[in-house]
Structure 1
Amino acid sequence: MTSLLVFSDLDGTLLDHHTYSFEPALVALQSLKTLSIPCVINTSKTFHELISLRKELNHQDPFIVENGSAVYIPKQLSLVIDETLEECGDYWLKAFGPKRDKLIELTNDQKGHYTFTRFSDMTYQDLMSVTGLDEANAKMAMQREFTEPMLWTDSNLALSKLREHMAQFDIQIQKGGRFSHLMGKHCDKANAMLWLTEVYASQNDEKLITMALGDGENDIGMLSKADIPVVIRSPVHAPPEVPNRSDAWLTDAYGPEGWAQAIDLVLSKQGIM
């Protein structure tokens, strides 16, 4: 027997890049629920942002926040996990990197060398202007725990230099759709996906097939490690290349419409279910 485990980015993937709507994906999401296929959200968004969004999506599965910095597992799932996790209300928490305060501290002395604006330098009104988020969602987006996004306005060469500088502190910079994200070197969507895949694989003897869907540069690692990598077409940037994966799918449609098409195609293929 084969079972499927889905990992999905949000912005530009399950959520429309411009409107943040997930309506075109609702039927496909329901299909996954009906078949008891977990759909793990794997996003740059924060825990606080996901609490309200998960209610809208009726999402009951684990979720990965802040570009792979931490995994939250609902206690109600009763997954057997062979390590000690942090207790966080209704969730078990597995963190992969340092707290946000350390990231802010390490970049304070870099402000004179490069031009960038961190979330900690912005007001929620600034963030609303940059992203189009409403006030409530902008405030939630700023409640970060493990990462510090930057609006990078310097050159790519300058970003490479800052990357080199931060590496000595075990800090990396991942480039997302709108922001560059400071985080611990072990914080990565792929690492978090692989850790959670092991958790699911240990629950029974079924063969587990992983499917990952994403549209940005920060999704490449996750896509490259999945059994079925799906690149969601974006209206604002070229599809990211997934190294050494000539089998990666590229959707015809954009955002949640392309997401739904990919899910439907996998579910219709023989041997998956």
Structure 2
Amino acid sequence: MTRLLISTDLDGTLLDHYSYSAMAAEPALQRLRQLQIPWVLNTSKTLAELEPLRQQLDNRHPFVVENGAAVYIPLDSPLAPDLATDPDGRYRCKTFGPSRRRILLALEPLSRRYRFTGFAALTAERLASLTGLDPDAARQAMSRQFTEPLIWEDSRGALEDFASELSLLNFQVQRGGRFTHVMGRCDKADAMAWLIEQYQALWGESIKCMALGDGDNDIGMLQRADLPVLVRSPAHSPPPIPERKDVLLTRLQGPAGWNDAVLNTLQQLDLGT
């Protein structure tokens, strides 16, 4: 028997780009809950952002934070039982990326030669005005452990030079739906692949992994998924997914497209009834 595992981006994918609502995806989410199919939130968001959001979405599965920098597993999950707990003792945690402090130290000299503003230089009110988040949610977004999002204010060519310099320091630059993210050499795809291994060990069965995303920082995850889905965005064109000609591009945008793609996949795999 083949089991299904879903790895999904949030902003612009499961959550509406403007309202941050997942309401349009609720029919598919209900089916996933009924069928006990894990849907892993794999996002650039922080732990502080995901804790209330997981409650709102009734998501009780492992989740991936800050573009693949770490995987958090609820303590009552049977996955990876030997993994160490996080400092607060609320989850088991697998880290893939360096600390934010190391990233900020690397960015400090570059800030004199490139034009950008990092989250560390923003107030919650400024971030709220940029994103439409309320100030409390903005503070949660700023509570980062492994990455530093930037408002890039320089040219595209300068961004390429900036990324090359950071690469020499073993960091990478990924463009998300709203911000440019500086992080270690890990991504959503690495975290997804690690979770697939954990579920295979738990279930003892083969797994098909469906991945859904809308931005450049989802490319690696979509490349490595069995069932890659590009969710149409109201804000930007879908990015190309190299070496994959089987990527599904949804007809509808955001969570409505997510809903259709998931329900259709469940039907095709004879899991929807």
| Common fold: TM-score over 0.5 | yes
- Cα distance in 1 for partners of 2:38, 2:219 equals 21
Q: Match of 1:248?
A: 247
Q: Match of 1:191?
A: 190
- Cα distance in 2 for partners of 1:248, 1:203 equals 28
Q: Is the deviation greater in 25-34 or in 44-53? A: 25-34
- Cα distance in 1 for partners of 2:271, 2:220 equals 23
> Could you tell me which amino acid in structure 2 is paired with residue 161 of structure 1?
D
Q: Match of 2:179?
A: 179
CA positional deviation for 1:82: 6.0
Q: Match of 1:209?
A: 208
Q: What secondary structure, in the 3-state scheme, does the structure 2 residue paired with 1:203 have?
A: helix
Q: TM-score, normalised by structure 1?
A: 0.96
> Could you tell me which amino acid in structure 1 is paired with residue 39 of structure 2?
C
CA positional deviation for 1:126: 1.0
Q: What secondary structure, in the 3-state scheme, does the structure 2 residue paired with 1:72 have?
A: strand
Do 1:3 and 1:272's aligned partners in 2 also have CA atoms closer than 8 Å? no
- Cα distance in 2 for partners of 1:208, 1:252 equals 26
Do 1:4 and 1:272's aligned partners in 2 also have CA atoms closer than 8 Å? no
> Could you tell me which amino acid in structure 2 is paired with residue 201 of structure 1?
Q
- Cα distance in 1 for partners of 2:17, 2:216 equals 15
Do 1:2 and 1:272's aligned partners in 2 also have CA atoms closer than 8 Å? no
Aligned residues: 272
Per-residue CA shift, 1:42-98, capped at 9, x if unaligned? 000000000010110011000000000000001111224565564642210111111
CA positional deviation for 1:263: 0.5
Q: Match of 1:151?
A: 151
- Cα distance in 2 for partners of 1:51, 1:23 equals 18
Cα-Cα RMSD: 1.3
Q: Match of 1:259?
A: 258
Do 2:84 and 2:93's aligned partners in 1 also have CA atoms closer than 8 Å? no
- Cα distance in 2 for partners of 1:85, 1:54 equals 19
Per-residue CA shift, 1:12-58, capped at 9, x if unaligned? 00000011011011121110011010000000000000001011001
Q: What secondary structure, in the 3-state scheme, does the structure 2 residue paired with 1:183 have?
A: strand
- Cα distance in 1 for partners of 2:50, 2:126 equals 21
CA positional deviation for 1:270: 3.7
> Could you tell me which amino acid in structure 1 is paired with residue 129 of structure 2?
S
- Cα distance in 2 for partners of 1:10, 1:149 equals 16
- Cα distance in 1 for partners of 2:242, 2:233 equals 19
Do 1:13 and 1:255's aligned partners in 2 also have CA atoms closer than 8 Å? yes
Per-residue CA shift, 1:145-200, capped at 9, x if unaligned? 00000000111111111111111211111110111111111x20000100111110
- Cα distance in 1 for partners of 2:170, 2:8 equals 27
- 1:75 to 1:252, Cα distance in 2 relative to 1, 3 A: same
> Could you tell me which amino acid in structure 1 is paired with residue 207 of structure 2?
L
Do 1:81 and 1:199's aligned partners in 2 also have CA atoms closer than 8 Å? no
Q: Match of 1:218?
A: 217
Q: Is the deviation greater in 60-69 or in 239-248? A: 239-248
Q: What secondary structure, in the 3-state scheme, does the structure 2 residue paired with 1:71 have?
A: strand
Q: Match of 1:74?
A: 74
Q: Is the deviation greater in 200-209 or in 133-142? A: 200-209
CA positional deviation for 1:271: 5.3
Q: Match of 1:126?
A: 126
- Cα distance in 2 for partners of 1:144, 1:26 equals 29
CA positional deviation for 1:125: 1.0
Per-residue CA shift, 1:211-247, capped at 9, x if unaligned? 0000001000000000000000001111111111111
**Structure 1: segments with no counterpart, 5+ residues:** none
Structure 1 runs of 4+ aligned residues shifted over 2 Å read 80-90, 270-273
Q: Match of 2:20?
A: 20
- 1:80 to 1:96, Cα distance in 2 relative to 1, 3 A: closer
Percent identity between matched residues is 48
> Could you tell me which amino acid in structure 2 is paired with residue 135 of structure 1?
P
**Structure 2: segments with no counterpart, 5+ residues:** none
1:168 aligns with 2:168: yes
- 1:266 to 1:240, Cα distance in 2 relative to 1, 3 A: same
